[in-house]
Amino acid sequence: MAQETPEARVPVKRALVSVYDKTGLEELAQGLHAAGVALVSTGSTAARIAAAGVPVTPVEELTGFPECLDGRVKTLHPRVHAGILADRRLPDHVRQLAELDVEPFDLVVVNLYPFAATVASGAGYDDVVEQIDIGGPSMVRAAAKNHPSVAVVVDPARYGDVLAAVAAGGFDLPARKRLAAAAFAHTAAYDTAVAGWFAEQTLSEEDGGWPAVTGVALERADVLRYGENPHQQAAVYVDPTAAPGIAQAVQLHGKAMSYNNYVDADAALRAAHDLDGPAVAVIKHANPCGIATGTDVADAHAKAHACDPVSAFGGVIAANRVVTAAMAAQVADVFTEVVIAPGFEPEALETLRAKKNIRLLQLPEGYGRGAREWRPVSGGVLVQELDRVDAHGDDPANWTLAAGEAADEQTLADLEFAWRAVRSVRSNAILLARDGASVGVGMGQVNRVDSCKLAVERAGAERAAGSVAASDAFFPFADGAQILLDAGVRAIVQPGGSIRDGEVVEAATKAGITMYFTGARHFAH
């Protein structure tokens, strides 16, 4: 086999073009024709090229076999695939092409039927199956395998590169390898989507709602300076099948995002977007320094910051509304790593951009967290449904009054806020709240007693007295609840379900405070 140097280019004399997404097709065809490249194409692609005034050979003229079966068979023919797969470094392949009177292709431009988009549209089973591309992936994989002789392009965004390479005498070997890698990634993602959809369609009761096979092809968005610590390498990848989130946010200002910035920003988004009305969360190490709702985002930010202003230094802030000039002025007074929001008022941007290092991120439209979350473990992955504010016990109307009198309107509103906000705190989690804002947070302790102590300590005696408390899980003993009662909380909301619930209720009753059971737990590990 003849060895090829990396610098060696394969001149593009003949191209096979068959695309569903016809973005930029006319410009590509005209550019290739102007460079002397002969074009072979299929169906509607050939029609579009011809309409642009570019000579094109229909594939059926090449094969001598008509397109048939409603377009299912167009390019599945030896005259097509021999022209793609012939390794022209091998004299025997070149000889066979000559004997068979097959001309080789130097360039294959293909993109596939929109399978994922068809599924997302809610189309019926038969319509989805019809969008499973057969000929397209076959050509893409063939061209990618034979990258020593053929360049393959699957992304219309690369058409400018194609024309530049053609003008330069063809793609060199490193470029063809990169194109082949992109092509295999393209077909892998496509097949993963098809396999995942079929697995979902064939679920049985024994499967418990979980497909036998699942997966997603992630696309690298950026290489990060380092990971959680400087000695760890890291990158951020996006899931093209998921609702847009932190990975797709647009950075408007500041230094490049770090690994820890992404982790904290995602936690902040969850905390702020779990709440109704204008809300702001201030996060440090994936835990809230403060969470609050307010009349507007400036009010919410002031209340959230006041919960723990010491810890808020160097924190990450998320708002569920557009950042106003008033909020920006407050943020500018405190060192902040990241602010992420659906948008920023022009004056707010001007104020915050005066801070050189602060990172400003704008959420993409359609932000959502998806239906499932994944967590790597040794040798595999844990997958679970996302913990949403939609469990039966998340609605105060479904709560059970376990002790004391029914809460008044303001107390019930504070309890509901605290119950929603405590979901964003790492377990064991206790959150004290007043007037729609956290005033003390106890998180990440290995027993609930210490979390209660921490929440009360951070609130301070004055703020703890008269606050309400939420616990993400039940009190296994009365001792944790007693710490809250001794601090003067006026009401507690918790899941209930401990074998010692009676002792906890008795303590609350003795203290004369209101306690609700939700029946729902919100651990966050």
Active-site residues, by number, are: 145, 285
Contact by Cβ (8 Å): 491, 407: yes
Phi and psi, residue 377, nearest 5° = -135, 170
Q: HSE (CB half, 13 Å, CA atoms) of 257? A: 27
Q: CA–CA distance from 395 to each of 7, 368, 391, 416, 519 (Å)?
A: 66, 21, 8, 8, 10
DSSP string, 138-190: HHHHHHHHTTTT-EEE--GGGHHHHHHHHHTTSEEHHHHHHHHHHHHHHHHHH
- Computed on alpha carbons and rounded to an integer, the radius of gyration of the chain in Å comes to 30
Please name every residue paired with 57 in a beta bridge, in sequence order, or none if there are none: 40
Note the Cα 293 to chain centre separation in Å: 26
Query: Which residue shows structure tokens 């967290």?
Result: 369
Q: CA–CA distance from 370 to each of 150, 239, 287, 329 (Å)?
A: 39, 11, 21, 33
Burial class (CB in 10 A: 0-12, 13-18, 19+), 164: exposed
> Residues in the chain, how many?
525
Residue 476 contacts by C-beta under 8 Å, 6 or more apart in sequence? 448, 498, 500
d(C-alpha 53, C-alpha 62), whole Å: 20
Alpha-carbon dihedral of residues 378, 262, 238, 157, nearest 10 degrees?
A: -150
Residue 248 contacts by C-beta under 8 Å, 6 or more apart in sequence? 221, 238, 364
Residue 80 contacts by C-beta under 8 Å, 6 or more apart in sequence? 16, 59, 62, 63, 139
d(C-alpha 326, C-alpha 430), whole Å: 31
DSSP string, 289-336: EEEEE-SSHHHHHHHHHHH-HHHHTTEEEEESSPBPHHHHHHHTTS-E
Question: To 10 degrees, what angle do helices 78-85 and 91-100 make?
Answer: 160
d(C-alpha 262, C-alpha 359), whole Å: 11
